[in-house]
Amino acid sequence: MNLHAVKAIYRFEMMRTWRTLMQSIISPVISTSLYFVVFGAAIGSRIPEVGGVSYGAFIVPGLVMLSLLTQSISNASFGIYFPKFTGTIFELMSAPVSYLEIVLSYVGAAATKSIILGLIILATAALFVPLRIEHPLWMLLFLVLTAVTFSLVGFIIGIWADGFEKLQVVPLLIVTPLTFLGGSFYSIDMLPPFWQTVALFNPVVYLVSGFRWSFYGLSDVGVGLSLLVTLAFLVMALALIGWIFKTGYRLKA
């Protein structure tokens, strides 16, 4: 493996984050903090506890997951789309760098940025609500797996997109609604039986549920099933990326 190439691309992507610190880190943290204030004050007064946990603390895992999903996709999709836009992708593909090294560097940088952001949001949340993490290793596992999986999804979107506006289509029209409907701000046990069944078809339910379990021991579905669904997404994303590089989809035009 060409570790020098991986390191060079990884460092370039990470440096781009520090150059756009306001957009990459500060803005998402401020936006998420507003959720704590608004939802905690407006809804928390009406729903004092969920499963023995204060409502403000209950929504923390869902808010972290919301930021993690959107930022992972955004970071990875822009990271690979910009070389396509400028034409430098062809220089990269003709260099002595394998497809695995390209994916590892871009996805690794996007996942690293998302994990850093998630940890900062957790630290910020602790200033607003009484936060506890019962299973820290499981929390880190779900954090890393989710960041890597959706960075792979973002990488796919960046290759598929043929314009900057398309980079926002999937996060805005699919991922964000699924996250809001995936139990980020409530337990699906609060829903009527029919809608509980419908919610189980939402894959984000399993991500949020497993992540919340690592905090409070509360979950809408079994933690093993949550982990299995996350790994299934990871495998599907890897398989699709493998097909893209094998066929040259949107790369050899």
Instruction: Decide if 136 is inside a domain.
Output: yes
Instruction: Decide if 46 is inside a domain.
Output: yes
Q: How far apart are CA 240 and CA 114, in angstroms?
A: 22
DSSP codes, the chain: --HHHHHHHHHHHHHHHHHTHIIIIIHHHHHHHHHHHHHHHHTTTT--EETTEEHHHHTHHHHHHHHHHHHHHHHHHHHHHHHHHHTHHHHHHHSS--HHHHHHHHHHHHHHHHHHHHHHHHHHHTTTS----S-HHHHHHHHHHHHHHHHHHHHHHHHH-SSGGGGGHHIIIIIHHHHHTTTSSS-GGGS-HHHHHHHTT-HHHHHHHHHHHHHHS--SS-HHHHHHHHHHHHHHHHHHHHHHHHHTTTT--
Instruction: Decide if 71 is inside a domain.
Output: yes
In this prediction, residue 135 carries a pLDDT of 95
Instruction: Decide if 115 is inside a domain.
Output: yes
> 227 is in which domain, residue-wise?
3-247
Task: Kindly state the tokens that stand for 161.
Answer: 């997109």
Q: Give residue-wise pLDDT tens across range 90-110.
A: 788 788 888 889 999 999 999
Instruction: Decide if 253 is inside a domain.
Output: no
Reported confidence tier of residue 252, pLDDT bands at 50, 70, 90: low
CB 63 within 8 A of CB 121: yes
Q: Give residue-wise pLDDT tens across range 8-61.
A: 889 988 887 777 777 777 888 888 878 777 776 667 667 777 878 888 889 899
In this prediction, residue 253 carries a pLDDT of 57
In this prediction, residue 44 carries a pLDDT of 65
Instruction: Decide if 123 is inside a domain.
Output: yes
Q: How far apart are CA 127 and CA 141, in angstroms?
A: 24
Whole-number percent of the chain with pLDDT over 70: 97
In this prediction, residue 13 carries a pLDDT of 87
Q: How far apart are CA 159 and CA 244, in angstroms?
A: 9
Counting the structural domains of the chain, the total is 1
Reference 142, options 204, 77, 55; nearest CA is 204
In this prediction, residue 45 carries a pLDDT of 64
Q: Give residue-wise pLDDT tens across range 175-205.
A: 888 988 888 888 898 889 999 999 999 999 9
Instruction: Decide if 53 is inside a domain.
Output: yes
Tell how strand 53-54 and strand 49-50 pair up.
Answer: antiparallel
Instruction: Decide if 25 is inside a domain.
Output: yes
Examine the pLDDT at 240 and tell me if it is beyond 60.
yes
Q: How far apart are CA 99 and CA 78, in angstroms?
A: 18
